[in-house]
Structure formats: structure tokens, C-alpha cells
Amino acid sequence: MTRAKELEEYTGMSDLVTVILAAGKGTRMKSALPKVLHKAGGKPMVQHVIDAAKEAGAKRNIVVVGFGAELVQKAVGNQAEVVVQAEQLGTGHAVLQAEPLLNNEHGTVMVLCGDTPLLTGALVKKLYDAHRNAGAKATVLTAVMPDATGYGRIIRTPEGTVAKIVEHKDATDEERRVNEVNSGIYCFEKDDLFEALKQVGCDNAQGEYYLPDVLSILREKGEKIWAVAADDYEETLGVNSRVQLAGAEKILRRRKNILLMESGVTIMDPDSTFVDAGVEVGKDTIIYPGTWLEGTTKVGENCVLGPSSRFTDTFIGNNVTAQFTYAHECEIGDGVTMGPYVHLRPNTKISANVKIGNFVEVKNSNIGEGSKLPHLQYIGDCDMGSGVNMGCGTITVNYDGKKKFRTTIGDNAFVGCNSNLVAPVTIGNGAYVGAGSTITKEVPEDQLAVARARQVNIPHWNDKRKE
């Protein structure tokens, strides 16, 4: 039993520290945004890696930033420690920047890549456990690729240790027939790692310090170099281009949809349903094609969502039906029906059993229980009570060109079609507004307000037009 394993069994805690490499620009992405901040499955790539490390039980995570350092540091926040690689001089140099933070550590350091969004906590744990159990000074995570062209091959000894890693261009024909490749993810014993890093040179075409050179240095000292293969090579795939990003996105979406279906969610067409990694969906919900569930969205049970709907950072209760709907940063209560063609904008709260028909937009408003917005309405900056009926074509006029004002509508009020409620204005409980009215003053409780000119019929008007 290794010292690390003894420590973990005694304390119940892992000695694992991760160093996540996130300093590169990602030239092939052709983007002003640092590569690791490009999203896959609704999260920045580096976030997927941090999440996997945490899930595996890492006690500390250190992110090495460089290009776009401030942006990456902001995205990481307080989830991990951050160290800056001022000059991008290779992977070995990047890891070396973390040494001052690890002076008091004597356990395992795992080096992860910030551009591997398909990495899972289970795989990180598998690598860590294999490293401990092997008693090796370094362990390489490998993948068996269906097509290994372009990858560095893992050449093993008869005992299973790593004899060498040979790049594709330098490999013999026999070595190229090996499909086990280097993922670029490693476990090291901390003291051995940094001692060897100080011996790594930069005598190469790029003038960089390469982390894999540490393996050669340790091997020359007679140390054991182990390797463990991922069960699924997809988990090790890195992203270096927009094409590869799209591939990773597809895999993450597929994984999420499978998890949802296995938990009791019906997805009519998984290939055209897009659910972010952090989204939660209750059982017996049905999702139709063309639907996006993004960000922190949470969906209750027995809902019917879609087709062609998008929900971003939205809470959706139970038994909600919504088709052709776009909702973002809002809350939808139980039993709400919506659509088609509904837009719910931020800071909107739709209470239980509200009915919203076609071509309705609601913004920064509270809609009371059981109220009805049948069709062709704009409801902005409004506090609406329960049991309200809003006629077709009615809007709240909330903006005077400089400031926005609120409209208040009491319980059980009835607003006739094609009415304008000019804020700030209050419609009392049980009040009625006649169709076609423009309301600029308070309508007291249980009263009828009619604010339109008396109809005048002009005889022979059409005859005069013809003249």
C-alpha cells in the first residue's frame, strides 16, 4: 500500500491536487476569447474540467492562466486557485508556475488540460486510483483510438509500464500500428515532478519546455512510469478548433439527454433537443423537438415543452405546457399554459394556472394566479392580481421616453380589447375597462372606465372623397 493510499484510508481524504492548464490562446479557434472559455454543453470548457476534478475528490485545484488571464480568472472565480503564466513557454513551464503554491504538499499532482470538456469525475478518479495502486512516480492517462493518426503512441514494456511515448511523425511502422495514445493528462508524485521539471530543457523547434520530458527523466532514473487507459476514448478528447468544439458539444448533449431519459423524461427527438449540463428536469416531462433548456433552468414534473421553445435560467413548475415559447431569467408557476409565440423577459413571475395565448410578451412583471393573457399583448412593468382577464390587443404603456413606470391591476379586473393602460396607473379590484380605452387615471374598485371619444357618423363622407 502506498503512502498516499494509507493517508487517504486513515483520514478519509484524498491527497490529490490538480493543476489545470488554461493559459493557451487557441490559435486555431480564431477568436479573441481564450480557448478554455468557449462553451460546450452550456459551460466554459475549463468549468467542465474543474467540475470533474471536484467530483473526483481533489482537495485543491490550481488553474494556470495566461492569454486572457483576467477573463479566465473571472470565470474561475473562487472555485480554484489561479496562477499566471506570463509567457507561454510550454506545458512544463506552465506546471512549474504552480510550484510556489505547492511547497507544503507532498502527495499527488494531477495535470489536467483546460480544453477537455468531455472529461468526467469518474475518469479522473480512475486515473488517481490507478496511480496510487501502481506505486508509480508518474502515470499517463491513455486512450485507445479508432484512428490514432497524429497522436503520440504509448509503447509499453512486457510488464505494462511505459517504455516511451513516440510522436506519430517519429514512429516506426510497427509503432504506428499501436492505437493506445497519450491524452496529455498525467499523475505525478509532487516532489519528483518538480525536481524533474527543473531538468527539462527547451532545445526544440518551438523553444518550449515540454511536460512529457519529465517522463523521460524519471524513466532514466529507473522510476516506474505507469499508464491507465480510459474506458471511452471520447472522454479524453481535447478541443483545438471550432469543428472539434462542435463535436464535443454533440457528445455532451447526447450524454445529458441519455441521463434525462434514464431518469424518466421523454425526449421525442434527442438529436434536435439541446439541454445544458446544469439543467434539471422532473420525471414524466415531455420535450418536443427544437427545444433548448439552458443555464440554470429547472423544470418540474409532467410538463410538456416545445416544439421550438427556448428556456434560459428559468424556473418552470409542474404541469406546465409551453410551445413556441422563449423565456429567460423568469419564473413560471404550476399549471401554466403558454403559446404559441410567447416571450417572457427577465424578472417576470407567472403564478399558477395562468393562461398565456399567442403573440404575448411579458417583461419585469408579476402575473397573479389564474389570470389570462389570451393574445396580442405587451405587459411590461406590471403587477397584476389573480383572476384578471386582459382583452386582445391590450398593452401597458410603461415608457414615456425617459423613464419607465409600473401598472397595477387588482384581482378579478377585466380589461377590454385594444386598451392602453398608461403608467403609472392603477386598476382596482373587480374594475372594468371598456374596449378601446386609453386609461391615464386610476380606475377605482368595481367601477367601469370608458376612455374613448363618442362615435360620430358623418353622412355622405365617401361621396365627397370621390369628388
Question: What single letter denotes the amino acid at residue 34?
Answer: P
Q: Is 85 annotated as a binding residue?
A: yes
Q: Is 115 annotated as a binding residue?
A: yes
Q: Is 21 annotated as a binding residue?
A: yes
Q: Pairing mode, if any, of strands 286-287 and 304-305?
A: parallel
Cα(310)–Cα(325) distance, integer angstroms? 6
Q: Is 398 annotated as a binding residue?
A: yes
Q: Is 182 annotated as a binding residue?
A: yes
In this predicted structure, what is the pLDDT of residue 139?
A: 97
DSSP type of residue 389: E
In this predicted structure, what is the pLDDT of residue 5?
A: 52
The three cell numbers of residue 439 are 386609461
Q: Is 78 annotated as a binding residue?
A: no
Task: Name residues whose C-beta falls within 8 Å of residue 157's C-beta, 6 or more positions apart in sequence.
Answer: 163
Is the pTM higher than 0.85? The answer reads yes
Pick out the chain residues at pLDDT < 50: 1, 3-4, 6-7, 9-12
In this predicted structure, what is the pLDDT of residue 467?
A: 67
In this predicted structure, what is the pLDDT of residue 330?
A: 98
Sorted by where each begins, the domain ranges of the chain are 3-236, 242-449
Task: Name residues whose C-beta falls within 8 Å of residue 460's C-beta, 6 or more positions apart in sequence.
Answer: none
Q: Is 322 annotated as a binding residue?
A: no
Cα(183)–Cα(205) distance, integer angstroms? 22
* Residue 347 contacts residue 330 (beta carbons within 8 Å): yes
Identical fold for domains 3-236 and 242-449, yes or no, is: no
Residues taking part in catalysis = 375
Q: Is 457 annotated as a binding residue?
A: no
Q: Is 104 annotated as a binding residue?
A: no
Cα(209)–Cα(200) distance, integer angstroms? 6
Q: Is 381 annotated as a binding residue?
A: no
**Class for the domain spanning 242-449:** mainly beta
Q: Work out the burial of residue 149: count CB atoms within 10 Å of its CB; fewer than 13 is exposed, 13-18 middle, 19 or more buried.
A: exposed
In this predicted structure, what is the pLDDT of residue 415?
A: 97
What element of type H or E holds 261? helix 242-262
- How many residues in the chain? 467
Q: Is 358 annotated as a binding residue?
A: no
Fold for domain 3-236? Spore Coat Polysaccharide Biosynthesis Protein SpsA; Chain A (3.90.550)
Q: Is 167 annotated as a binding residue?
A: yes
Q: What is the DSSP string of 221-247?
A: TT--EEEEE-SSGGGG----SHHHHHH
pLDDT, tens only, 204-239 = 777 888 899 999 999 999 999 999 999 999 999 999
